[in-house]
Structure 1
Amino acid sequence: MSDSFSILITGGAGYLGAVMVPAFLAAGHRVTVLDNFLFKQNSLAAVCADPGFDVVRGDAREAAVLKPLVAKADIVIPLAALVGAPMCDADKIAAHSTNFDAVRTLLDLLSPQQRVLMPVTNSGYGIGEQGQLCTEDSPLKPLSLYGRSKVAAEAAVLDRGNSLSLRLATVFGMSPRMRIDLLVNDFVYRALYDRAVVLFEPHFKRNYIHIRDVARAFLHGIAQFDTMQGRPYNLGLSDANLSKWELCERIKAHLPDFAFLEAPIGEDPDKRDYIVSNTRIEATGFKPAHSLDAGIAELIKGYRMLRNSRYGNV
């Protein structure tokens, strides 16, 4: 294969795709996006002038829609998914058919030579052991339908061969198809406009990664595919394995009026609690370029433009 590829991205007009697609085009790749535009978004408007870009409105679950698009692709990135536990719980059938069945359909259409780079969630680790970093060899114990469907899809992709997966930490940062419901994005929005948040289980820890570093990691995986293929890779900021309380402290450094306190009763429906090792991907030469603090500053600027509840998945 040459250094320039034809890439098919299903769900490429969503939060991640809206940042990844321009980055791939800028790197010289040709990109076709298949998306159902569920959220009526125009997130790829700025790249329509690029002759290397094409877009198809359709359902990533339908083999007849996928087949002609797959035939022209060197690389496939299945971003199409119902993302997040609340969205999946609201429509369990659609969650399974989109997050797993559509990936299975896609794999059946591929030739052995075509490459797959699969985004999944590190929420598959569920509840980690106290003080122990989750590596790619740690047991997967997903707590939600969302987590289970992504774990199953990852297994199918890696079993096929000629593939790799990126287990994304909780993503943050501005995107043309914004999501305010992700943890860092949500807390910064509340800090700016509500100036307060009540925390359930504030000691629960997670890892975080900037959306532009997700795009960079996929480009890295494409460039280093021969040495990286066949394995999953955690993708997060190694200096940001933070509890929700610690995250709020970081946000307060930017917005001093922000107040946060622990809820005396109640619990977080999302029980994830783990810290993650990103050593494997770092050993391939990848280093994140965007810090948590830079992302918080970016979100504060972005939210001066956005005050609208439509920027979420639920």
Structure 2
Amino acid sequence: MNILVTGGAGYIGSVLVPKLLQAGHAVTVLDNFMFNQPTLAECCSYDAFQVERGDCRDQATMERLVAKADVIIPLAALVGAPLCKIDPVGAQTINQDAVEMLCRIASKDQRILMPVSNSGYGIGEKAKACTEESPLRPLSLYGVTKVNAETAVLQRENSATFRLATVFGMSPRMRLDLLVNDFTYRALRDRAVVIFEGHFKRNYIHIQDVARVFLHALENFEAMRGRPYNVGLDDANLSKLELCALIQRHVPGFTYLEAPIGEDPDKRDYIVSNARLASTGFVTQWSLDRGIRELLKGYVILRDSRYGNV
């Protein structure tokens, strides 16, 4: 298939795009390369790979690129409540308005596969898992824009959305601000972390399994279209304190404590059921333990010491 991926040089795209090419698809990436990341350099050896520097909000650019696509995967977004708070105009225009524009210019025969966030569930009900039928209660601008964008995508017949749990794992365009990645890095480098809202639970998913979900959906699209899917690990509905205890088993000497030093703007405190996705035949391959082992190896290579003297 001819696949257009916006934001394809980001954290998820840098893992997904090579997998799409390896599977034999032709891939065009549109990205503004705001972090000057060379993460898709290896993809340039594929004749079926094309890349363009540009903005997903530019309608003329999108109309030209969408016209050539069988499938569009809109990854371009300002991800996370803190970044959206810094740039609320960018959050609105990239996370929501650009997706709504895409839905207008795409033909009914073109497929859209879009990742969103399960942070849209907000504060869940105690001991009751959030399913795709649970009410969406987004609290931050990030959550609101992603929920509204998902609504626009699912109004089309030829679409599916993926409500991603908190993603973790190594990527060529690495993010150290994601919870598992952050805590594992602090465990290795600082040997300590201070936690707020330590009993808040959330779900997790490895970035390799996120990429595999898109490939799975391409292969099973007729059975999956028109619906949202939670994407997470059923055995990883864990609180922050439980996550730290798990990391501690991999990093002896790591200590952690809880203090009222902050709060989650999305108030993410819920457990999630991923049964709908499992019913399509998808099986995750990466546990939290495996992902933490991967991160610890990756952090031997990656050191965020740009601003230190030692």
Give the TM-score range, shorter chain: over 0.9
Q: Secondary structure at the match of 1:141?
A: coil
When the two structures are superposed, what TM-score results if normalisation uses the length of structure 1?
A: 0.96
Q: Provide the C-alpha distance between the structure 1 equivalents of 2:169 and 2:258, rounded to a whole number of angstroms.
A: 25
CA contact (8 A) 1:123 1:142 kept: yes
- Give the counterpart of 2:261 among 266, 272, 296: 266
**Cα offset for 1:266?**
3.3
Instruction: Report percent identity of matched pairs.
Output: 64
* Distance in 2 between residues matched to 1:309 and 1:143, nearest whole Å: 34
Tell me the equivalent position of 2:168.
172
Cα separation, 2, equivalents of 1:218 and 1:145? 26
2 CA distance for matches of 1:103 and 1:31?
19
1:150 aligns with 2:125: no
Match of 1:121 in 2: 117
Q: How does 1:170-209 map to 2 (within 5 A)?
A: 170-209=166-205
- Could you tell me which residue of structure 2 aligns to residue 47 of structure 1? 43
Residue identity in the other structure for 1:306:
L
In structure 2, the gaps of 5 or more residues are none
Is it true that 1:91 corresponds to 2:87 in the alignment?
Answer: yes
CA displacement, residues 74-129 of structure 1 (integer Å, 9 cap, x when unaligned): 00000000000000000101100000011011111111100000100000000000
- Report the counterpart of residue 302 of structure 1 in structure 2: 298
Q: CA RMSD in A?
A: 0.9
Offset at residue 269 of structure 1 (A): 3.1
Partner amino acid, structure 2, of 1:27: A
One-letter amino acid matched to 2:264: P
- Structure 2 partner of 1:107: 103
Secondary structure at 1:296 match in 2: helix
Deviations 1:255-299 (CA, angstroms, capped at 9, x unpaired): 011100111x33323321010000000000001011110100000
Q: Does 1:72 align with 2:68?
A: yes
Q: Distance in 2 between matches of 1:155 and 1:309?
A: 41
Q: Which residue of 2 aligns with 1:25?
A: 21
Encode CA deviations 1:174-223: one digit per residue, 9 max, x unaligned. 00000000000000000000110011010000000000000101100111
Query: Any idea what SS the aligned residue of 1:171 has?
Result: strand
Match of 1:131 among 123, 127, 131: 127
Distance 2:99 2:32 in 1: 16
8 Å CA contact retained: 1:206, 1:242:
yes
**Are 2:215 and 1:215 equivalent residues in the alignment?**
no
2:37 alignment partner, SS class: coil
Tell me which amino acid in the other structure corresponds to 1:42. P
Say whether 1:161 aligns with 2:166: no
Alignment CA distance shift 1:21-1:309 (3 Å)? farther
Which secondary structure state, in structure 2, belongs to the residue aligned with residue 23 of structure 1? helix
Q: In structure 2, what residue type is equivalent to 1:269?
A: D
SS in 2 for 1:253: helix
Within 2, Cα distance between the matches of 1:102 and 1:309?
Answer: 36
1:258 partner letter: F
Preserved CA contact (<8 Å) 1:9 1:77: yes
**SS of residue in 2 equivalent to 1:217:** helix
* Per-residue deviation, 1:309: 6.7
Structure 1 CA distance for aligned equivalents of residues 257 and 29 of structure 2: 43
Equivalent residue pairs, number: 305
CA-to-aligned-CA distance 1:216-270 (integer Å, 9 cap, x gap): 011001110001000000000011000000000110010011100111x333233
Aligned pairs for 1:234-273 within 5 A: 234-263=230-259, 265-270=260-265, 271-273=267-269
- For the residue of structure 1 that corresponds to 2:250, the secondary structure is coil
AA of the residue aligned to 2:126: Q
Structure 1 residue 16 corresponds to structure 2 residue 12: yes
Amino acid across the alignment from 2:35: F
Secondary structure at the counterpart of residue 69 of structure 2: coil
Gaps of 5+ in 1: none
Which position in structure 1 is the counterpart of 2:283? 287
* 2:274 counterpart residue number: 278
- Using the TM superposition, give the Cα deviation of residue 58 of structure 1 relative to its aligned residue in structure 2, in angstroms: 0.1
2:88 partner amino acid? K
Stretches of 4+ aligned residues off by more than 6 angstroms: none
Q: Does structure 2 retain, via aligned residues, the 8 Å contact 1:143–1:272?
A: no
TM-score with structure 2 setting the length: 0.97
